[in-house]
Amino acid sequence: MGSQDGISPENRRIVIMGNGGSGKTWLARRLVESLRLPLVHLDDVHWEPGRYGIARDRALVHEEVKRIAAGEAWLIEGVYGLYVGLALPRTTALIWLDLSEEECVANVRQRGIQGGESRESFDGLVKWVSEYRARKNNWNAFDGHLKLYEGFAGAKARLYSREQILGYAESFLRP
């Protein structure tokens, strides 16, 4: 089982991070249903509205993430470690979905092209997901997520498989 330390329904500011295709959105939707928290998808903050693949101005995104994090209750999910880092000072629980690249790629392929993606951008996404542990930047790669996870002193969980994520969701949602 993944490591888990004190995450409970009392946590009102939760971040879920992980590679593309790891199940962040799936888990986030289950938790917000039970906890009645507003859900923030970092993809919606990062990309221009209605223009998938075109990033918004980074300074504007930083301000928006800080504004969201200043709220009293939320669940933020996404791959962007840079933005996760901006929210961490106010985060009460951190969940890292640390699945193998093979599992993540399989999930991305299963869900298929989304949101106006082209075949070329989808193929690029699959390649990008497959390189999670090889990427050498701190804001959407394994090394960056590891650093955020290890440096976070609050309640946290690190889940390594779909089975662990499902079991975690089920145990977390039990009354």
Q: pLDDT (tens digit, 9 = 90+) per residue, 35-65?
A: 889 999 999 999 888 766 788 999 999 999 9
Higher-confidence residue: 28 or 172?
28
**Residue 121 burial (CB count, 10 A):** 15
Average confidence (pLDDT) over 7-30: 90
**pLDDT the model gives residue 2:** 52
In this prediction, residue 5 carries a pLDDT of 56
| CATH assignment at residue 112 | 3.40.50.300
CB proximity list for 140: less than 8 A, separation 6 or greater: 79, 80, 81, 82
The predicted-structure confidence for 56-113, as pLDDT tens digits, reads as follows 999 999 999 999 999 999 999 999 999 999 999 999 999 999 999 999 999 999 988 8
Domain limits for position 113? 3-173
The DSSP code for 60 is H
Residue 75's pLDDT is 96
- Name the band, by pLDDT with cuts 50, 70 and 90, for residue 1: very low
State the DSSP H helix or E strand holding residue 122, giving kind and residue range, or none if neither: helix 119-130
Q: Which amino acid is residue 143, in one-letter code?
A: D
Q: What is the pLDDT of residues 124-142, one digit of tens each?
A: 999 999 999 998 876 789 9
Q: What single-letter DSSP state applies at residue 56?
A: P
Q: How many separate domains does the chain show? A: 1
